[in-house]
Amino acid sequence: MLSSVMQNPHMFVKAVLPTPIGPMLVVTDERGQLRALEWADHEARMHRLLRLHYGAQGVTLTDGEAPPSVRRPLEAYFEGELLAIEPLAVETGGTEFQRSVWSALRAIPAGETLSYGALATKIARPTAVRAVGLANGANPVGVVVPCHRVIGANASLTGYAGGIERKRWLLAHEGAS
């Protein structure tokens, strides 16, 4: 028996948005909700996460334009209006635990950082530091779900799917020390 995801694949639009740190892929659904956000040089990762969240046959991507309701806030963010992306509607797959981590990420204000341990404590799972790190790494909507704001316990810039230099740029752009 085929799952409903396989019978009815999601139809998403993939657009390219120029940013100061490289082209960004913006994936939206028919309602204009953000489904994925990834750097163009990491497109394979984006496809892997889409397959993970929606199944091997669960997504059909077509090239197009990002809706203005998504494009404008992203452009404004990169122009220095850091709060412009906060109201963006995001729709993700993922497990309940992952979504709780991603929700907590959105609560980290621009210009601030949090360690993986502090993030685990924030979601009332203080011993789940490693799982929080894995959920952070599986975030399909970087920048808007600001996984770049999570740092190591010693304040080091730990892994970022878009690369440490982009993480450093994003944190500096937001005024994080």
Active site annotation includes 147: yes
Phi-psi region of 133 (alpha: psi -120 to 50; beta: other; left: phi over 0): alpha
The single residue of 61, 74, 123, 147 carrying the catalytic annotation is 147
Residues 94, 105, 136, 82, Cα dihedral to 10° = 110
Residue type, 129: V
Q: Which residues are marked as active site?
A: 147
